[in-house]
Amino acid sequence: MSTALSVNLNKIALLRNSREGNYPDVMHFARLCIELGVQGLTVHPRPDQRHIRPTDAYAMSALLQEHPALEFNIEGNPFAPAGGQYPGFMTLVKDLIPQQCTLVPDSNEQLTSDHGFDLTQSGDRLKPVIEELQGLGIRVCLFMDPDLRQINLAHELGADRIELYTGPYAAACLQDPKRAETLLTCYQAAARHARKLGLGVNAGHDLNLDNLPALLACAPIEEVSIGHALTVDALLMGFEDAVRAYLACCQ
């Protein structure tokens, strides 16, 4: 099966935010991604606005209205409150109505997302959120570890998809190839189990051109969202060639 590529533009925004002004222009790279044939765009607007800002999300939503076949995926913590110029995660999502909302258990203290939901602890709070988003026609994806018990709970909560957190696999590819092979078996089992339950399966975090092929070869993945590694590869090969390389890998 082919896998959809959703390009995460957070790191382009992070570079822009290191200076005054709008250089690089995130929207320029959003348009370039669309021209190159990606299947979607992803943003993860955090309350501290370290990279993507709400204004970026509104601009990207308007752009994608012109491309209804492409997916807009907004990631974040559904319980992130309003503060300053940040309207609150749920307010932003309800204003923009993306095709997909990926709920992530992150906090401002985390450098990046580093674990999936423990639904034994957060399931009761998440259930009405999932129902509200689905009532707006938004597909709901939960950021999850490859834990079959947790995936069962995601299904019971009524999620549409899960996104498998692939950070441990990516780290093992660099540090312990044998462990990486073991983890691939875990991700394969998790993806197959989720699909048997009727859940769609996405994957993301630290995936790159070196570790992505093996994951896609062994596990039925519908979509990957990639930003950090793609941005790094763009420094080496140019943005357009980097996007093309990831598209080829997904196909």
What is the largest distance, in Å, between two alpha-carbon atoms of the chain? 49
Name the 3-class secondary structure at 136. Answer: coil
Q: How many angstroms separate the CA atoms of 88 and 78, rounded?
A: 8
C-alpha Rg value of the chain to the nearest Å: 17
Catalytic residue among 51, 71, 163, 205: 205
35 included as an active-site residue:
no
| Residue in the block written with tokens 């993945």 | 221
155 among known catalytic residues: no
Q: Please, are residues 46 and 57 in contact by the beta-carbon 8 Å criterion?
A: no
- Asked if 181 is an active-site residue, the reply is no
Choosing from 75, 163, 222, 223, which is the catalytic residue?
A: 75
DSSP state of 51: S
Burial 102-139 (b: 16+ CB within 10 A, else e): bbbbbeeeeeebeebbebeebbeebeebbeebeeeebb
- Tracing tokens 């009524």 back to the chain, one arrives at 158
Catalytic residue among 44, 51, 71, 222: 44
Question: Which sequence positions are flagged as catalytic?
Answer: 44, 75, 205
